[in-house]
Structure 1
Amino acid sequence: MIEIKGVSHRFGGIKALDDVSLDIGEGEFCALLGPSGCGKTTLLRILAGFETPDAGTVTLDGEDLLRVPPHRRPVNLMFQSFAIFPHMSVERNVAYGLERERLPRREIRERVDAALATVGLPTYARRRPHQLSGGQRQRVALARAIVKRPRLLLLDEPLSALDKQVRVKMQLELKRLQNEVGITFLVVTHDQEEAMSLADRIAVMNAGRIEQTDAPVELYERPRTAFVAGFVGANNLFPGPDGITAVRPERIRIGDGGGDGDGGGEGVRLTGTVVDVSFHGGTSHLAVRVPALDRPVLVAVQGPSRVVSGERVSLAWPPEAAVRIPAGIPVGPIEGEEP
Structure 2
Amino acid sequence: MPVLHTPRRTARLLLVLLAAAALHTVPTAPAAADEPGWTAEPAAGTAAARPGGARPYFYLEGAPAAVLEDRLALTNTTDRERTVTLRGAEAHNTADGAFAVRPAAPAPGAGGAGSWFGFGAAATVKIPPRTRALVPFTVTVPPAAPPGDHPAAVIATEAGREVGVRVHLRVSGPTLAALTVEDVAVRGRGAAAAVAYTLVNRGNVALAPELDIRAEGAFGEVPGRGPRAVPVELLPGQRVELAEPWPGAPVLDRVRVTVTVTAPGGAEAAASASAWFVPWRAAGATGLGLLGLGGTALAALFLLRGRRPRCGPAQGGAGGGPSGKPGARTPAPEHELTGASR
So what's the TM-score if we normalise by structure 1? 0.22
So what's the TM-score if we normalise by structure 2? 0.22
Greater relative CO (CA pairs within 8 A, separation 6+): 1
> Rg larger in 1 or in 2?
2
Structure (1 or 2) with the greater strand fraction:
2
